[in-house]
Amino acid sequence: MYPFWEVPFFTSGMVIALIATFHILPCHLATGAFWFTVFVERKAYKENRPELLEFIKKYTLLILIFCFVIGSLSGVGIWYAATVASPRGISGLIHNYVWGWATEWVFFIIEIASIYVYYYTLGKIDPKSHLMMGWLYAWAAWISMIIITGILAFMLSSGKWVETGGFFDGFFNQTYWPQLFTRTALMFCIAGVYAAIVASTLRNKGVRRELVRAAGLWGVLGMLAGLAFTAWYLHRLPAHAKELWLDQSLPYLGHLLNVAGISYAIVLLWFVICCLIRPKLAGPVSGIIILIVLFLGIGAGEGFREGARRPYIIDQYMYGNQIVARDIPAKHIKAEVPKFNKEGFLSHLFFRPDKINPDNKTQLLRAGSVVVHYQCGNCHALDRFGKMRPLKRLLANLEPESPEDIEGFLDSLGDYPYMPPFAGNELDRKAASEYLFSVVVRR
Ligand code: HEC
């Protein structure tokens, strides 16, 4: 186990969630935008209307800065945050998908090179070569989505990989295609929002109306297709995820879907009313409000995906607290819960208190704090002011009267469909319950 990263107030997982939710805006814009750009540029050449090129210049500059400065930084931010929040989770992914990421980065480099060439050569080279550059970018960006979606989907449903350990068995799993198509449809929605905002700032009134409408149409079509693909995606969720959601084991999953659904409806209405019917209304002000709605909807939708795979961080393979859940013989990976139950959890930690005497209360509490941080801290806030599923309050609801009551609860942890079992021997369990009992808020 690596050192535990404690984020006061709202847990390390939420740090990743915030960065990742933001990152989706630039990354889906980056993948969706150029299909629209190429569409407008072709129109400009075909109908001989150079005035349309003003849009291309502005929109491409936005993508260049928003996606390739802010988007890249937040992408690196996800890597940093995920690496310290869940080092073993990231390691598990890298050990399987390092070549996936390597391939993705090749396409990133093509994207980066081609967007610079595209932006700086607009109007300076012959239209045909310039368009080629646009196509090159559009395809490279979408291919990077094709690759990364496989790794994301693997975390939600690891498929036959748990038996075979095969790269493609995990990659093309049951949620891969619906997720790829949903993201593809939604990239047109996100690209449409930004395109409408940029188009609304153009000088030429006629072009402004025309392009806001066109962006609106792309957005609406993307969103309508997105509805069908989302239904398919929800239908293909693993049985366990459906149980958490539909049997209300985790009621907040339903709430998240509601938030996502309402945001979806608002964005769709905005496209219809403010872009298609009255393009005048699609200015930066309403556009920025819609971006905020989009942000909330994305956060809820991705939060659903992350929540639905509990108790795992990688479906079937690794629990949210980074303990390996089962044998994966093809990869020579062994389940860790039986090992920790037998040999002790603390004794396998590199960073742990050096003296643990079960009769010494101070030492026991300190050891318990370490066990609880490792085994519960990825999902529960442990600090005094913690807001994210605070353990001190959740435990208080169970009204434990002694550390033994909590020991009993720890034994039952694996019966919850969304929590990993407690992993450790007598000493770990005793230390953890003494510590947990000491932090429960008593009313
Ligand atoms: C993989 C994430 C995860 C881990 C690890 C985890 N929990 Fe939970 N726990 C949850 C979720 C999700 C809930 C549901 C709370 C909610 O509705 O948000 C929950 C609920 C609880 C509750 C309330 C149960 C009830 O019946 O009301 C307690 C108590 C609790 N956890 C204790 C623990 C302890 C102690 C540990 C560590 C030994 C732990 N959890 C580890 C995800 C986790």
Query: Which pLDDT value is given to residue 62?
Result: 95
Does the CB atom of residue 418 touch ligand 1 within 6 A? yes
154, 97 in Cβ contact below 8 A? yes
Determine the 3-state secondary structure of 173 from DSSP. coil
- Between CA 7 and CA 378 the distance in angstroms is 10
Ramachandran region of residue 165, left (φ > 0), alpha (ψ -120 to 50) or beta?
left
Q: Is the CB of 433 under 6 A from ligand 1?
A: no
Look at residue 37 and give its three-state secondary structure.
Answer: helix
236 lines ligand 1 (CB under 6 A): no
What tens-digit pLDDT sequence spans the chain (443 residues)? Answer: 899 999 988 889 899 999 999 999 999 999 999 999 999 999 999 999 999 999 999 999 999 999 999 999 999 999 999 999 999 999 999 999 999 999 999 999 999 999 999 999 999 999 999 999 999 999 999 999 999 999 999 999 999 999 999 999 999 999 999 999 999 999 999 999 999 999 999 999 999 999 999 999 999 999 999 999 999 999 999 999 999 999 988 999 999 999 999 999 999 999 999 999 999 999 899 999 999 999 999 999 999 999 999 999 999 999 999 999 999 999 999 999 999 999 999 999 988 888 888 899 999 999 999 999 999 999 999 887 888 899 988 999 999 999 999 999 999 999 999 999 999 999 999 999 999 999 987 65
Distance CA 419, CA 405 (A): 18
432 contacts 410 by C-beta, under 8 angstroms: yes
The pLDDT value given to residue 355: 83
Global confidence as pTM = 0.93
Cα distance between the two ends of the chain: 36
Give the position, in ligand 1's atom list, of the atom nearest the Cα of 313: 1
Residue nearest to atom 40 of ligand 1 (CA): 376
Distance 226 CA to ligand 1 centre (A): 33
Bond prior to 311 in cis (omega within 30° of 0): yes
Residue nearest to atom 27 of ligand 1 (CA): 394
pLDDT of residue 114: 97
Assess whether the C-beta atom of 310 lies below 6 angstroms from ligand 1: yes
Q: What are the sequence ranges of the domains in the chain?
A: 11-319, 338-439
Is 381 a pocket residue for ligand 1 (Cβ < 6 Å)? no
Cα(323) to centroid of ligand 1, in Å? 15
